[in-house]
Amino acid sequence: MSNETISGFSKLSKSKKIDWIVNTYFSNQENAKKILKQYWNSDEKLQQLHDEFIENTISNYYLPLGVAPNFLINNTIYAVPMAIEESSVVAAASKAAKFWLDRGGFKTTVISTTKIGQVHFMFHGNTNHLKAYFKAVKPKLLEAVKPLSKNMEKRGGGILDIELRDKTDQISNYFQLHVSFETADAMGANFINSCLEQFAKTFKVEALNFDGFTTEEQQLEIVMSILSNYVPDCLVRAEVSCNVEDLAENKSISGEEFANKFIQAVNIAEIEPYRAVTHNKGIMNGIDAVVLATGNDFRAVEAGVHAYASRNGSYSSLSHAKIEAGIFTFWMEIPLALGTVGGLTNLHPLVKLALEMLGKPSAKELMQIVAVAGLAQNFAALRSLTTTGIQEGHMKMHLMNILNQFEANAEEKITLVNHFKTHTVSHSAVVEALEKLR
């Protein structure tokens, strides 16, 4: 640990940045520098591309890119790319995909694709004066952003509406311009934010010339202009269904017994927040992995999804299950604001490959694929929890991590993987078996 500070760090070359970091923070400077440099790409052009994604880059941070095959979605087969480090996620998704492949596959529908942005402002005066001003200025607001929205409108997107919202019951003098957008195949963050900032500028300037305001009212104060990552009107539904008896895979548990226990597990997540958080985290294992692989913003998706899970006043399960007339149905409606053009989708070579693997989907198609990955992950987790328990499969996938931690060689790995096919995996059991072998 060091208390040393530095000025002008961002202006240093990458090698100078690394020199300062390793000299300041690491006892084994040679090893630290070696690790940082071993993750550089040997292709200088590709490395420069990565360096310029963010600021102050010193190396690349790798995540495994896996593939979950055999996803039947609306009668089309997909192999789904997943970028994630957690053991058993890709295996679980693949297993769920295979399970539903012979039972009709996944069905999906995009319910809506509206996104929201807001101009937050303070107004000290007569609310009726403000309403009259908004009515007068609304056409001018839309006219002012025409140069920004022209290309988006060509692609089928644009600004859907602008509303004036009175929030003074929560914060004194606080109002919003609440704007709804359609951004076609783009996630649209830059487009939305640029439009909002122009709205704010026009809204402020035109107020100075509005005769219906007093002098004081003309000084309305813009606080900020920003898109919202809460997108409850950008919704996609994913579901699976089959005859209850078709859920049975072996004689150990009947389809009806499995379905009833599964539904009870979902019901618990619907009313118990402590369970719902973990339940929904499992859904996000699948969603985040595909969102990341396709160059989208998983942090925005996470924030929006968890807000949606709390929309009724308490945090609850995103997925639901039922039996009706002998049919088991498992489904989820989830907000997803995704893009397949712009941002990393046009820059990152692996993102381009991931999107090509998915058949170069539109934003709506990608919404459906991502939702299915989340539902599949949730199905696999609940299936394990209500039958064998979650740890049996997870720890067998985690076995390789433990072996790598203790630098097991190829021969040792083969021997111990075979050994733990019939023995319970735990950290201590693996260490003990490895020591015996050695």
Which residues are identified as catalytic? 86, 281, 297, 394
Alpha helices by DSSP H, listed for 39-88, are 44-51
**Counting runs of H as helices and runs of E as strands, what totals does the chain give?**
15, 10
Q: How far apart are CA 429 and CA 363, in angstroms?
A: 47
- How far apart CA 416 and CA 46 sit, in angstroms, is 39
Separation between Cα atoms, residue 341 and residue 347, nearest integer Å: 10
Q: The tokens 């709506």 sit on which residue?
A: 364
Q: For residue 223, what are its two tokens?
A: 């606080």
Q: Which CA distances in Å does 242 have to 148, 246, 248, 350, 436?
A: 48, 7, 11, 36, 48
Listed residue (125, 74, 69, 137) closest to 97, CA to CA: 69
**C-alpha–C-alpha distance, residues 236 and 418, integer Å:** 42
